[in-house]
Amino acid sequence: MNKHAIIIILSLFLLLPGMVWAWSIQTTDIGPNIENKATKKVAPIYPPLAKRKRIEGKVIVKLQVNADGTVLSTEFSEGNSLFKPASMEAAKQWIFQKTSNGMTGHIIFKFQLEEEGN
pLDDT > 90 in the chain, percent: 70
- Convert the pLDDT of each residue in 4-35 to its tens digit: 555 555 454 555 455 444 444 445 689 999 99
Positive or negative, the CA dihedral 76, 43, 37, 99 is positive
- Convert the pLDDT of each residue in 36-65 to its tens digit: 999 999 999 999 999 999 999 999 999 999
Please state, rounded to an integer, the average pLDDT across all residues of the chain. Answer: 85
Helices assigned H by DSSP within the chain: 3-26, 48-52, 84-92
Please tell me the predicted confidence (pLDDT) of residue 57: 97
Does pTM top 0.85 for this prediction? no
Residues 36 and 98: beta-carbon distance below 8 Å: no
